[in-house]
Structure 1
């Protein structure tokens, strides 16, 4: 029987408010201002003018909506089965579930990314709540983070559940 673990994102409320205001402003532009300016044209040119004017705003709206939904309502859902792990991101646009097979995974680890070294230098992350830990799968020398920015206890619980199911 699979084990299902749901991890809710901790929203950054400043980002939520700013992106929400941006979404409202873009909605107003797309639904009110652009149609009013398109009324100056006649027939087919009005429709063409509307779509050519609204397309960049609609693309930016979708981009803001992507970040706002994930930041505000995002959840990572892990389904741990005897032979695989399925990672789903709820309320994240344009993502499909990722499946990791047990036979391809060498190790499950908990890592602290408060100080992260990468090929261009070092990145320091600070968190009052201590949410700098990730659950990492090691596959042929490559690290894949399946859950990010959680506390050490939560990361250890998830890693222990995976190890217990797969032992």
Structure 2
């Protein structure tokens, strides 16, 4: 018997609107402006001209789409089995599901990342809703974040669900 936990990302609406407009503008440039300017080239250089001018805009389009999809529709799905935990990121481009075995996980805990320490300094995260907590576990000596930027109560619920299933 497995338990499935779905956690929806908090949507940053300002980012969604700005990136949505950016996607529309980049689509207009890629599909209308560049082909019209490429038509002025000789027929043999049309394809080369189109590809060379479209490539940078396509890269930005994919980057904006990646961020926009995850921000707007992103969802983390945890599937907890008696011996494994599987993490899937729905609506996140280029992310494959990850599976971890219970025997490889040493500890499951909640961490507050309001103040995050790095080798090169400190980063402060401010959230009006208190969504600075993460569910992490120690896997073969490495700290792995399961779910980021949730409230303490939601993190406690998830950790309790995992512990009830495994212990």
TM-score under structure 2 length normalisation: 0.97
Structure-1 residue corresponding to 2:106: 106
Structure-2 residue corresponding to 1:31: 31
2:159 alignment partner, SS class: helix
By how many angstroms is 1:129 displaced?
0.5
1:106 alignment partner, SS class: strand
Structure-2 residue corresponding to 1:18: 18
Alignment root-mean-square deviation, CA: 0.8
Q: Supply the distance in 2 between the matched residues of 1:58 and 1:20 (Cα, whole angstroms).
A: 15
Q: Supply the distance in 2 between the matched residues of 1:16 and 1:127 (Cα, whole angstroms).
A: 18
Mapping 1:14-163, distance limit 5 Å = 14-163=14-163
Q: Supply the distance in 2 between the matched residues of 1:119 and 1:105 (Cα, whole angstroms).
A: 25
Instruction: Say how many residue pairs are matched.
Output: 167
After the TM superposition, list the runs of 4 or more consecutive aligned residues in structure 1 that deviate by more than 4 angstroms.
none
Q: Supply the distance in 2 between the matched residues of 1:140 and 1:93 (Cα, whole angstroms).
A: 27
Q: Deviations over 1:87-146 (max 9, x none)?
A: 000000001001111010001001111111111111111111010110001123321000
**Deviates most, 110-119 or 1-10:** 110-119
TM-score under structure 1 length normalisation: 0.97
